[in-house]
Amino acid sequence: MSPALHVRNLGGLLAAEPAWGWRTDRELLCAHGRVLAIGAGVGPALRSLERDGEPVAVLDAAGLLAVPGLIDGHVHPVAGSVSVVPPGHGWTDTYLNAGVTAMVSAGELTFPGFSSSVLTPEAAARLAANSAWAFGNIATPPRVYAGTLLAVPELDREHFRQVAQAGGKCVKYIYYPFAGRRWEAEVAAYTKWADEFGLVTKMHAGGTSYQGHSLEADAELVSAVAPRVLAHANGGPIPMDDQALATIVERTGCHLELILGGSLRVLRDLVGLLRERDELHRITVGTDTPGGNGTMPRGPLQVVAAIAGLGQVDAATALRCGTENVARAHGIPGGALAAGQPADLLLVGPVRGSSHPTVASALEAGEIVGVGAVVSGGAVAALPGRYTPPPAALPTLETP
């Protein structure tokens, strides 16, 4: 069993309770994979651990701020070096070192032997179930919630049950042939089975993917399918037109996923529209990688900075888009700092040399921040994060 982790000498933290926002607490305590206490509750909880003889490691934060670990809501998990561009061996570790403590699959599209042209119901369910099992058994961080069921005609309830039982989280419309057939009853059944087994429906937005095989969705189709999450709403790689996006915002309650590889102009406008409607809770963050955009370890952090800087959103809310909003949209744990939540967190500060003195001012100026440490499941997983420039001060770890 790994020791508990006492994080002290914080410059503050982004907490979920009593309300989402910055707090001045100087310490927090993690044990058994969870946040045990924050602020004033740390002392009593620490003494209790010591009475029970539990070892405690100490992470001196050197004045950095604690924020929830980022969650990439749109990855395409690869098997070893089998990928698109470039080969993906070791990619999850690079994302971890840029602050990503969890990620959600939007479909395992680059596994050996995969072809959308021969994707039968049995093949789609088997691919999702096997992927969920395989990535679910990897003990090292980040957590990869794999096993997305790719929607094809003639799936049945048993396929959905099989994927959910294996640990899959999503159903994705990307290759489903809407054109030239009556699909309404089948899609309604898919929505019913997804809800029954706790699977989140996602849908490819905008034009076709770079491989050229995916659907081209418009506002009418998205409104009719009513997915829980609209993938890469600002373009994957190109977005639908502005009026179509405005219609989807108005007609549906779906979450709108933003990525770095899409249109940053559309990202700005979508954020502005949702800000005016007081619906920023609908924004989630992803990368749509590995894929045609390569790998993007800093992608989630850069999208958060774009939401704050381009979208004129306060830093705490922008970080929520890349943490708690993603977790809630996909029905997975984490994304928030509060007692009882998974102990996935980052220690961050303005990048060394930044003209901005605080994390909030840096993000609101559109800058990424430096990751001084990554904590996953209550254990230090990176010290410092290797895929961001360093903050002005670096934490230190004392193990028992």
pLDDT in tens, 120-166: 999 999 999 999 999 999 999 999 999 999 999 999 999 999 999 99
Tell me, what's the pLDDT at 82?
53
Tell me, what's the pLDDT at 294?
83
Amino acid present at 238: I
Tell me, what's the pLDDT at 1?
67
Tell me, what's the pLDDT at 393?
95
> Residue 368 contacts by C-beta under 8 Å, 6 or more apart in sequence?
298, 301, 302, 305, 351, 362, 388, 389
Tell me, what's the pLDDT at 110?
76
**Burial degree of 44 (CB within 10 A; 0-12, 13-18, 19+):** exposed
Spatial separation of the C-alpha atoms in residues 381 and 374, rounded to whole Å = 5
Quick count: other Cβ atoms within 10 Å of Cβ 374?
A: 28
Quick count: other Cβ atoms within 10 Å of Cβ 120?
A: 12
Tell me, what's the pLDDT at 303?
98
- Segments of the chain with pLDDT less than 70: 1, 80-89, 210-213
pLDDT in tens, 192-223: 999 999 999 999 988 777 665 677 788 999 99
Structural domains of the chain sorted by starting position, each given as residue range(s) with its CATH number in brackets: 4-67+337-398 (2.30.40.10), 70-330 (3.20.20.140)
Contact 84, 290 (CB under 8 A): yes
Spatial separation of the C-alpha atoms in residues 265 and 239, rounded to whole Å = 10
Contact 12, 25 (CB under 8 A): yes
